[in-house]
Structure 1
């Protein structure tokens, strides 16, 4: 249910899927502002959390920090949410540089990201890397595949082959385009512009996703995630509504089939990044919404 001014109200519906599974799941949280980091070393501090199909590695990097992946199974993303965060990416004999406020897509195989001055970096992986899964404090929540989420299937390989891709986040808003969306074979990110002041509570957006989770990464501000679980046949499985307040930085993983909306409450700037794995078909079908759609084909429909 979207306000008529919300561009998501124009999304095409899809054929109804199977009836809701009589087994719904709890929301998952990574409260990086509160919980101790999983890693605290020469690279800085790094927190991990996972959903069914993705892993978030949020780092507050020290100058010279180097994040290396050897034999990486598939593509991943690296988000530099702040300006003046110079970074060097290398993989497959290729190098790319960024001054910050940017998104890298890194290819499978061996690769490295170095932050000359340190700063914030968010690496976003699929859950196909067991070594990273093991670092997630909530790994046990996904010890068994969630019944209402299909098995992970990556999208088709890019026709130009795997390589480092680099995108500036400095993309002006356009009428009719929702957020700033990029995708690769494994991940989709939507990076809206920062919000100023609290949300208008007369124009919220309760909705649900039949068969995928939503990862909401709070980078700035105070957020409240409102969630309502549908009723199951067995009343013992009913779940109270949740209205969970989180600060930044944090991750909230919203389960499939759960009605949700988020409100922001800071008097200053707030920012929330939404992450999906694999990419969303409905967003991808909207002309102009995915900024790099020409580089990544959609799966056969």
Structure 2
């Protein structure tokens, strides 16, 4: 992996590089919601885009204040991302009601839940793709008609300490720490790096091309403009080669980056550029770094061995 010396990820162990199974490497997907119409629209103006990866479903909502944006029953937890200070919800789970304003990450327990937007800022939902009703609604569902052989199946991590319940993590409660990479949270099935927004273009001399052995990376752009640079390794079968991707995307947009492609993302907008990274399941390498995962005491890692 190519990380600059001052990049905190330079301390991570390099991926092992798994043997070539002969299975084709999937193509990256660039789902730019800024130029594609929504999959669902309400009469009062709420717009929703529904996309998926192998192990997750993502619903991106631009709400009208007061709209009910979700009411359903799930067998698993879901994660809500309230992107900015204009994002606000009233949510019910079981017989409890909760009010949250963003930016924040919220974990909703399994069972019936309802979410009403009380603001106009974006709301993002992360759901396991094992919730097949929702996986089938994704605009890119056809890309997963056959599972990607390079992506490990989701194996949920241990249940949360104290059992399932509504959990709220406000970004305003997260102190600055130069020894920690981003703002990492995990659940049984997800890891989210709620990175802070940057201003202006990324320093081209400090790019970070790297790859993952067996998990997808979903990069959600919520502000600004990015170029996703992705290179598919060449194998012995030249029929599977593809040119490099240098995909220019706006916001909001979702890039799904398959393993073991080499990738890095470059903010190029001159104003705010804001990207959030999503993984399903949680990353072992990030979890092994002391202090990196902010809610590690609530969502324990699997026992070693």
User: What TM-score do you get using the length of structure 2 for normalisation?
Assistant: 0.95
Per the alignment, residue 12 of structure 1 pairs with: 13
| Residues 1:283 and 2:267 aligned together | no
Aligned counterpart in structure 2 of residue 73 of structure 1, from 72, 75, 79: 75
Alpha-carbon shift at residue 15 of structure 1 (Å): 4.7
How far is 1:20 from its partner? 5.4
Contact 1:66 1:113 in 2 (8 A): yes
Distance 1:241 1:20 in 2: 22
How far the C-alpha of 1:30 sits from its partner, in A, is 1.6
CA gap of 1:114–1:184, structure 2 versus 1, over 3 A, is: same
Normalized against structure 1, the TM-score is what? 0.96
Give the gaps of 5 or more residues in structure 1: none
1:243 to 242, 246, 250: 246
Q: Which moved more, 1:259-268 or 1:125-134?
A: 125-134
Q: String of CA shifts for 1:24-62, please: whole Å, max 9, x gaps.
A: 011112211011100001461000111111111101111
Shift of 1:16: 4.8
Match of 2:258 in 1: 255
- Please give the secondary structure, in 1, of the residue aligned with 2:133: helix
Structure 1 counterpart of 2:121: 119
- Structure-2 residue corresponding to 1:164: 166
Residue 85 of structure 2 contacts residue 121 of structure 2 at CA under 8 Å; is this kept in 1? Answer: no
Partner secondary structure for residue 295 of structure 1: coil
CA contact (8 A) 2:211 2:259 kept: yes
- Equivalent in the alignment of 2:51: 49
> Paired residue for 2:131?
129
Distance 1:211 1:69 in 2: 33
Could you tell me whether the CA contact under 8 Å between 1:221 and 1:247 is conserved in 2? yes
Q: Unaligned stretches of 5+ in structure 2? A: none
> Considering only aligned residues, what root-mean-square deviation do their CA atoms show, in Å?
1.4
2 CA distance for matches of 1:99 and 1:149? 34
| Deviation readout 1:68-89 (Å, 9 max, x if unpaired) | 3433021111111111433112
Aligned-pair distance for 1:14?
Answer: 5.5
1:225 alignment partner in structure 2: 228
Q: In 2, distance between residues paired with 1:277 and 1:98?
A: 24
Q: Secondary structure at the match of 1:202?
A: helix
Q: Which residue of the partner structure matches residue 148 of structure 2?
A: 146
- The alpha carbon displacement at 1:192 in A equals 1.2
Q: Does 1:211 align with 2:231?
A: no
How far, CA to CA, are the matches of 1:165 and 1:93 in structure 2?
15
Tell me, yes or no, if the aligned pair for 2:15 and 2:213 is still in contact at 8 Å.
no
Query: More displaced, 245-254 or 78-87?
Result: 78-87
Summarize the Cα distance change of 1:102–1:282 in structure 2 as closer, same or farther, 3 Å threshold: same
CA distance in 2, matches of 1:187, 1:296: 11
Q: After TM superposition, give the deviation of residue 21 of structure 1 in Å.
A: 4.2
Q: Distance in 1 between matches of 2:267 and 2:86?
A: 26
* In 2: Cα distance, 1:200 partner to 1:51 partner: 29
Q: 1:18 Cα shift?
A: 3.4
Q: Could you tell which deviates more after superposition, 20-29 or 154-163? A: 20-29
